[in-house]
Chains A and B, each alone.
Chain A
Amino acid sequence: MNISLAWLKTYVDFDLTAAELAHALTMAGLEVEEIGQGTKTTFSGVVIGEILSVERHPNADKLSVCSVRAGDDVVQVVCGAPNVQAGVKAPFAPVGAVLNGNEIRPVTLRGVQSQGMICSARELGLSKDHTGIMILDTKTAGAAGDPFTAANGSDDTTLSIDITPNRPDCLSHIGVAREVSVITGNPLTLPPSGCRETDRSVDEYISIGIEDSDACPRYSARYISGVTVAESPEWLQNRLSSVGIRPINNIVDITNFVLMETGHPLHAFDYREIAGKQIIVRKAKPGEIFTTLDDISRELTSDDLLICDGERPVALAGIMGGKNSEIGDDTTAVLLESAFFDPLTIRKTAKRLGLSTEASQRFERGADPNNTVYAVDRAARLIQELAGGTIAGGVADAYPAPVQPLAVSLRLKRLEAITGISIPADRVRDILTRLQLAPSGSDPLTVTVPTFRPDIKREIDLIEEVLRHFGYNTVPAAETILLPLGDTRNPLRDYTETLKDAAAGAGLHEVVNSSLVPSRYTELYVPEGNVPAGVKNPLNPETAFLRTSLIPGLLTAVSWNINRSHDTCRLFETGNVFSFRDTVSLPDETLTFAGVLYGRSGSSEFWSDEKEQVTFFHLKGLVETLLSRSYLRECRFTAEDHPLFAYGYTITAGDTRLGHFGPVAQSIREQWDIPEAAFCFELSVEHMLAASVPPVSRPISRFPAVKRDVAFIVPGEIPAGDIRACILRAGGAFLKEAALFDQYTGDSIPAGKKSLAFSLQFISPERTLREQDVDPAVKQIIESVGGTFGATLRS
């Protein structure tokens, strides 16, 4: 909402500067976003020019050649305005200035050079006045060369205020003035609305029928004949321009002026076009077509409300008038509408049609049903003043069920219980009274809430009103708090933080990706039996689904960094993935932990190292490390296909599936333009937490371990893990560990075979082991592995 300070001052006096007023309003909840100079200008680079001399153009009767001083420069300008004269100051657009998007250039007019343009008000977009240049008051205009702003023309400042949707009353100068009157303590003066009426009653000209009084609780109208449609006087044009409304003609300008003044939307019909001397308010028929003022034909539904005459619709109620009945230059009789419409009805139609107007914005938030007559009277009075004409007697007013002001009580003790401070009763009463919320009684106060404040329905609303003007910042900050004891832990959160620390500790960088992804990501993977969750109104197709896996996002991050000259990425992310199990319940939201390895291995980054790319075994090692750091020591890896991986493992702990890992399938890498191998893991955090076993310490043997190395030559296809398992089974009670330390194929090994070397560790918690304890165990191992796999001992 744009508020002109000069306009505001006609209803309430204040001696605050614009900045002080802006601050005071902001601290009362009317957030001033911008302090502007008059209108939003359509020009730039315009300065104040002093016209030093004016001579006749040698080759044209209607042109003059002027010398204009703008700062230190004096330039020659050709001007066509009849009112140009030496000694005056006027807005001057020098070469380089921009008017309505057009840059001023040096030109030659009938053989005389012109270095700029002396401007009319219309050329500056300040009014429609194009009778001559805009001559400025020599005393108040700045020095020649100073920047010219709209304020130089209108001597006004505007505040752009962000009015919260609960305050429709503040979408007007009077509404804001009411707030200013509370801030300053100065009285609010409402503008006069009395009209001189003729003896002929309005009923002779119009009858009003409301078919849907829920959608239109009130419809008031006045009839004015004998008007002369013309341009509005300059003061009115300036008022409208100052708040960003384009002047059109006196009748329309007055309805807009009263809208901006009172907040009540009005509409003027050309009475000639109203058939049958009647107004019918009804719902549209499904598919009914209506052409609004903006010349767009709109198809309506039975939810939309129409204002009709005896034959056809003439306005889309509360939103926009019809093309068929708009005020023209030759209009002589006017029907002025001032109605009250149901906010939801207007809102639905405006939203569906994507048509938001000054009127619809106010009706949607809630206009005042008891203000229709004041607004229409005020407008009729101004029309008579500015456009002449006679006003028929009375207001045609259909108001079947008048809305009564609410009575709301306010307990001072409750005020204190909410605010934490004691506000003197006098001050409470004073604030409410200035807000025109009439309080009576002592405690509780009974407050009569006028209908222009639809936001105030309960005691708590009054408490806010009082505190808002008493000052939120007068309430001291409590220095202690009462602390109820209770369980403040959140195991899933805590565990997630443990995972993040483990991943960062393992050299991974945490990333955060959007949850919104394109369908080509969700098509890659959805948990079996589920379907992806789609967004109904996405900003674009790239954000039309909720992610079903973190891996596509990680690959996007890898790709982003590859394109920025990073040859290595080690990344992880935690976040929810989504998919629907059925169509009635909320979707599954699975907190997921995933990572990617790409490029060089973490142990080969030193300048002297062999450069080594990450391999599957780096990934496996990383996964093992992360599982072990997050209290999951007993996990099983089972080879299993996964749509994202070339091959890979499923990770389980007990019966719980934790996740999977593997090298990203080449076809998927190609989608992301990732040239080299990339390896990913993805785990369910909740499942990990459920399966995790917080560490409990076990005794360490005080006796030394005995180590033996054995190497087997085995058929190449036998998995090392099978050999190891066999060793552990056969190794007896003292065998603690069998760690593979070498796999070798080559010269000394027969074709089709490989050598696997294990380091065996024997230990007893009770005594130092001797040769004779270990030797039989080793022998048993050799026999068992030999018998099971046809393995021979490598000498």
Chain B
Amino acid sequence: MTENSLQESVRTIRRDLESAIAAADSTQEIEALRVRFLGRKGAVSALFKQLGSVPPDQRKAAGQAINDLKQFGEDEISRLISRHAATTTTEAAPDLTLPGNWPQAGSLHPLTLVQRRIKTIFQNMGFAIADGPEIETEYYNFEALNIPKGHPAREMQDTLFVDNGFVLRTHTSNVQIRVMERQRPPVRIISPGRCFRRDTPDATHSPVFHQIEGLCVDEGITFADLRGVILNFARQMFGPDMKIRFRPSYFPFVEPGAEYDFTCFICMGRGCRVCKGSGWIEISGAGMVNPVVFETIGYDSERYTGYAFGMGVERIAMALYQVEDIRMFFENDLRFLQQF
């Protein structure tokens, strides 16, 4: 065989290959044409076998031509395969309405979610997180907070007493005292935690509940600073349109003492069922630290001033998630928990 006739065969096979590629439109056909041309017993292999009969001086050029053909075939077929794969589905779609399969995720409790948000906001304002015991001495829970024995305010908070003369803390304000005892000003802390009162459970009361209390003490701290921090918290938590309202009230460890309200975040102040038409949601108490408290723990009450505030985690979570009954948080019903 001469190089010419072999070259002729290469051209013929190449034309056949091109038309076969143009015609192929299924995986099976593509595979068939691959076997026909490039397989072990295919047309290209056959050409290589004929190469031996070409005179040696022409063999190199002929071999080059066959190699080119092989390369061309491989490129075209692989292009065809990827084109085909991209445009066609090789198997029928399953019933897509069947449920998906992935391990079920767990969830965090709504009280955890709310506490995290609150903590982050205050941490960004430079407040450290402080802890204290849930079972406390009467000194830290009452006396040091200017609530001496026999004080009517002790009855405002129905206390649960524990063996050996201790109490279940009625607020996280005990942490204020513990922190100030071990640290000189400036002090800037929040203390989130569990509190207890002798309340019969109903839709808005739980004997176990969670509070976050804040305390800031330094030189030059004023009521205006307290209002600034509370307003900033309200806006970070519920949006830039929040307004705050302070009403005078009485907590023995702060003076001037206040209760503070936020714009109702359900109706944005227009008045609705949640805020009972007032446009405001009661949050908790706040005020300037009573100098008596500073004197008890040994701060110079002329030099330092400070503010303290509280907030109920359940109350905020109830408003935020529109939970109507505080007991939902402690029932641990999966139908409730899975919503968060």
Residues of A within 8 A of B (CB): 26-29, 31, 164-167, 343-344, 347-348, 364-365, 417-421, 458, 460-461, 463-464, 467-468, 472-473, 475-490, 492-493, 497, 500-501, 503-516, 533-539, 543, 546, 556-557, 560-561, 564, 566, 569-572, 575-576, 578, 580, 583-584, 586-587, 589, 602-603, 605-608
A165–B156 touching, CB < 8 Å: yes
Cβ-closest chain A residue relative to B231? A477
Name the residue among B131, B135, B259 with the largest chain A CB count within 10 angstroms.
B135
> 6 closest pairs, A vs B, by CB?
A420-B222, A29-B248, A420-B224, A478-B228, A165-B152, A164-B250
Q: Which of A468, A546, A584 contacts B162 (CB 8 A)?
A: A546
Q: Which of B107, B108, B256 contacts A464 (CB 8 A)?
A: B256
Cβ-closest chain B residue relative to A364? B152
A483 contacts across to B, CB distance below 8 A: 125-126
Q: Kindly state whether residue B299 has any CB partner on chain A within 8 Å.
A: no
Q: List 9 A-B contacts (CB under 8 A).
A: A166-B252, A420-B225, A464-B255, A485-B126, A487-B128, A511-B109, A533-B166, A556-B332, A560-B332
Q: Of B43-51, B68-76, B77-85, B194-202, which stretch is located at the interface? A: B194-202
Cβ-closest chain B residue relative to A604? B103
Name the residue among B130, B194, B223, B230 with the largest chain A CB count within 10 angstroms.
B223
Beyond A417-B222, A505-B106, A583-B164, is A490–B128 a contact (Cβ under 8 Å)? yes
Cβ-closest chain B residue relative to A418? B288
B291–A458 touching, CB < 8 Å: yes
A492 to B192, CA, bound (A): 13
Beyond A504-B106, A536-B162, is A571–B332 a contact (Cβ under 8 Å)? yes
A348 contacts across to B, CB distance below 8 A: 150
B130–A490 touching, CB < 8 Å: yes
Q: Which of A165, A477, A514 contacts B230 (CB 8 A)?
A: A477
A506 to B125, CA, bound (A): 33
How far is the CB of B309 from the nearest CB of chain A, in Å?
Answer: 13
A4 to B29, CA, bound (A): 98
Q: Which of B112, B128, B130, B194 contacts A515 (CB 8 A)?
A: B194
B256–A467 touching, CB < 8 Å: yes
A535–B136 touching, CB < 8 Å: no
Beyond A27-B247, A463-B256, A477-B244, is A493–B131 a contact (Cβ under 8 Å)? yes
B134–A515 touching, CB < 8 Å: yes
How far is the CB of A662 from the nearest CB of chain B, in Å?
Answer: 21
B332–A561 touching, CB < 8 Å: yes
B247–A29 touching, CB < 8 Å: yes
How far is the CB of A560 from the nearest CB of chain B, in Å?
Answer: 6
A479–B136 touching, CB < 8 Å: no
B91 contacts across to A, CB distance below 8 A: none
How far is the CB of B248 from the nearest CB of chain A, in Å?
Answer: 3
Beyond A165-B152, A484-B126, is A537–B161 a contact (Cβ under 8 Å)? yes
Beyond A464-B248, A472-B247, A607-B99, is A512–B109 a contact (Cβ under 8 Å)? yes
B129–A488 touching, CB < 8 Å: yes
Cβ-closest chain A residue relative to B164? A583
Q: Which of A472, A487, A546, A576 contacts B258 (CB 8 A)?
A: A472
B106–A460 touching, CB < 8 Å: no
Q: Which of A420, A464, A478, A488 contacts B257 (CB 8 A)?
A: A464
Q: Kindly state whether residue B319 has any CB partner on chain A within 8 Å.
A: no
A497 to B123, CA, bound (A): 15
A535–B162 touching, CB < 8 Å: yes
Residues of B231-265 contacting chain A, CB below 8 A: 231-232, 244-250, 252, 255-259
B206 contacts across to A, CB distance below 8 A: 514
A506 to B129, CA, bound (A): 27
A546–B246 touching, CB < 8 Å: no
A576 contacts across to B, CB distance below 8 A: 134, 194
Cβ-closest chain A residue relative to B105? A507
B112–A490 touching, CB < 8 Å: no
A365 contacts across to B, CB distance below 8 A: 152
B250–A165 touching, CB < 8 Å: yes
Q: Kindly state whether residue B218 has any CB partner on chain A within 8 Å.
A: yes
Contact string against A for B residues 97-111, beta-carbon threshold 8 Å, 1 for contact and 0 otherwise = 011010111111101
B164–A481 touching, CB < 8 Å: no
How far is the CB of A20 from the nearest CB of chain B, in Å?
Answer: 14
Q: Which of A421, A461, A472, A511 contacts B337 (CB 8 A)?
A: A511
Cβ-closest chain B residue relative to A605? B104
A167 to B151, CA, bound (A): 13
Q: Kindly state whether residue B269 has any CB partner on chain A within 8 Å.
A: no
A488 contacts across to B, CB distance below 8 A: 123, 126-129
A481 to B126, CA, bound (A): 9
Beyond A513-B330, A607-B99, is A481–B108 a contact (Cβ under 8 Å)? no
A478–B225 touching, CB < 8 Å: yes
Q: Kindly state whether residue B290 has any CB partner on chain A within 8 Å.
A: yes
- Overall SS of chain B's interface: mixed
Q: How many residues on the B side are at the interface (Cβ–Cβ under 8 A)?
A: 87
B250–A481 touching, CB < 8 Å: no
How far is the CB of B268 from the nearest CB of chain A, in Å?
Answer: 19
Cβ-closest chain A residue relative to B124? A488
Beyond A347-B150, A510-B112, is A564–B99 a contact (Cβ under 8 Å)? no
Beyond A27-B247, A464-B248, A580-B163, is A509–B106 a contact (Cβ under 8 Å)? yes
Q: List the count of A-B residue pairs having beta carbons below 8 Å apart.
A: 252
Q: Kindly state whether residue B305 has any CB partner on chain A within 8 Å.
A: yes
How far is the CB of A250 from the nearest CB of chain B, in Å?
Answer: 33
Contact string against A for B residues 140-173, beta-carbon threshold 8 Å, 1 for contact and 0 otherwise = 0000000000111101100011111010100000
Residues of B within 8 A of A (CB): 98-99, 101, 103-109, 111-112, 116, 123, 125-131, 133-137, 150-153, 155-156, 160-164, 166, 168, 186, 188, 194, 196, 198, 200, 206-208, 218, 220, 222-225, 227-232, 244-250, 252, 255-259, 288, 290-292, 305, 329-335, 337-338
A492 to B196, CA, bound (A): 22
A406 to B38, CA, bound (A): 112
How far is the CB of B307 from the nearest CB of chain A, in Å?
Answer: 10
A668 to B137, CA, bound (A): 35
B244 contacts across to A, CB distance below 8 A: 477
Cβ-closest chain B residue relative to A497? B116
Name the residue among B186, B218, B228 with the largest chain A CB count within 10 angstroms.
B228
Q: Which of A468, A504, A578 contacts B135 (CB 8 A)?
A: A578
A537 to B167, CA, bound (A): 10
B153 contacts across to A, CB distance below 8 A: 165-166
B188 contacts across to A, CB distance below 8 A: 484, 486
A543 contacts across to B, CB distance below 8 A: 207
How far is the CB of A488 from the nearest CB of chain B, in Å?
Answer: 4
A509–B250 touching, CB < 8 Å: no
A295 to B103, CA, bound (A): 70
A509 contacts across to B, CB distance below 8 A: 106-107, 334, 337-338
B160–A535 touching, CB < 8 Å: yes
Cβ-closest chain A residue relative to B104? A507
A419-B256, A507-B106, A560-B333 given. 14 additional CB < 8 A pairs? A344-B150, A418-B288, A460-B290, A475-B246, A480-B228, A488-B123, A500-B112, A507-B105, A508-B106, A510-B106, A514-B207, A514-B330, A586-B137, A607-B99
B220 contacts across to A, CB distance below 8 A: 417, 482
B194–A533 touching, CB < 8 Å: no
Name the residue among A417, A506, A516, A560 with the largest chain B CB count within 10 angstroms.
A417
How far is the CB of B296 from the nearest CB of chain A, in Å?
Answer: 14
A473–B245 touching, CB < 8 Å: yes
A348 to B106, CA, bound (A): 52
A508 contacts across to B, CB distance below 8 A: 106
B224–A475 touching, CB < 8 Å: yes
Cβ-closest chain B residue relative to A482? B218
A497 to B258, CA, bound (A): 33
B248 contacts across to A, CB distance below 8 A: 27-29, 464, 467-468, 472
A418–B305 touching, CB < 8 Å: yes
Name the residue among B105, B109, B161, B206 with the largest chain A CB count within 10 angstroms.
B109
A537 to B196, CA, bound (A): 12
A31–B247 touching, CB < 8 Å: yes
How far is the CB of B157 from the nearest CB of chain A, in Å?
Answer: 11
A167–B108 touching, CB < 8 Å: no
